[in-house]
Amino acid sequence: MHNVVCIKQVPDSAQIRVHPVTNTIMRQGVPTIINPYDLFALEAALELRDKFGGEITVVTMGPPSAEDSLRKALTFGAERAVLLTDRCFAGADTLATTYALATAIRKIGKDYGQPDLIFTGKQTIDGDTAQVGPGIAKRLQVMQLTYVVKIGALDLTARTIEAERRSEGGVQVLRTRLPCLITMLEATNQIRRGAMADALRAARAPIVKWSAQDAGVEDISKCGLKGSPTVVKRVFAPSARADKATLVEPSEEPAQALIDTIFKHQPKLEADLAALAGNV
């Protein structure tokens, strides 16, 4: 089988700092990583390949430096990596991103075989919208299974797949048709330690690099900033609350003092709490 996995290189946001005066992101020295959620998608694809054979193509849209994340994906065992990079993609919102990625995935299908499954992470840690997956599915006119916790029966002859997906209040089990786009939920698996052979191969493997034109983009006005219906007008730091917390003075009985302060602050709360506690 042929599976395509969409990964994104993101700044390691745990290490992002905001400049206290200018409110701008201090990016210098912030390392980039593969979006952590995408590793669950990659591992799910790897497990299927181990079971059913075939290959995995990883694809990313990003600056030339995003090649690093593709090489990393190759060390885990993906067969092929496609880097979609072009100035005209810059500033893309989700709609423009899905246009570019869907176009590239069509081209991947033509060049390397039609994909059976397309994987994305649940969301990115920088964009954080969880929309790119459903958007790609819609653009490619394929079925979608989002928030998948477990992939069940897969029948490559009948072209069907069963999966369990998280929904509000429970897990929905669905059967649908291939090709299908899957967004994997986090913590559903753990990315493997790549084999030594893959690490060696990844270091030297050729990366397929496509410009918009190479990928088959027909309408450049649908890409990047131009193709983005959303516009960011303002970026600002969350405002601080004017008053700091009232500190409970140290005392012999701090618990008692705290409770007194709480009920002094909000007298109504006592009746509410008594009612709740009565149910214990």
Ligand X SMILES: Nc1ncnc2c1ncn2[C@@H]1O[C@H](COP(=O)(O)O)[C@@H](O)[C@H]1O
List of residues contacting ligand FAD (CB under 6 A): 13-14, 125
Give the DSSP H or E segment for 136: helix 132-140
Residue 132 engages another protein in binding (rule: CB under 8 A): yes
Residue 169: CB minimum distance to another protein, A: 6
Residue 278 engages another protein in binding (rule: CB under 8 A): yes
Residue 146 binds: one of another protein, ligand X, ligand FAD, none (C-beta under 5 to 8 A by kind): another protein
Q: What is the crossing angle of helices 196-204 and 67-75, to 10°?
A: 150
Residue 160: CB minimum distance to ligand X, A: 24
DSSP reduced 3-state for 186: coil
Residue 207 engages another protein in binding (rule: CB under 8 A): no
- Site of tokens 């709480």: 262
Token code pair at residue 47: 């497990």
- Characterise 278 by phi-psi region: left (phi > 0), alpha (psi -120 to 50), beta (else): alpha
Residue 175: CB minimum distance to another protein, A: 5
CB contact at 8 A, 106 and 114: no
Residue 176 engages ligand X in binding (rule: CB under 6 A): no
Residue 240 engages another protein in binding (rule: CB under 8 A): yes
Residue 260: CB minimum distance to ligand FAD, A: 20
25 phi and psi angles, rounded to 5 deg:
-75, 130
Give the pairing of strands 32-34 and 9-11: antiparallel
Instruction: Enumerate binding residues for ligand X (CB under 6 A).
Output: 6-8, 35, 37-38, 41, 60-62, 94, 97, 101, 120-121, 123-124, 127-133
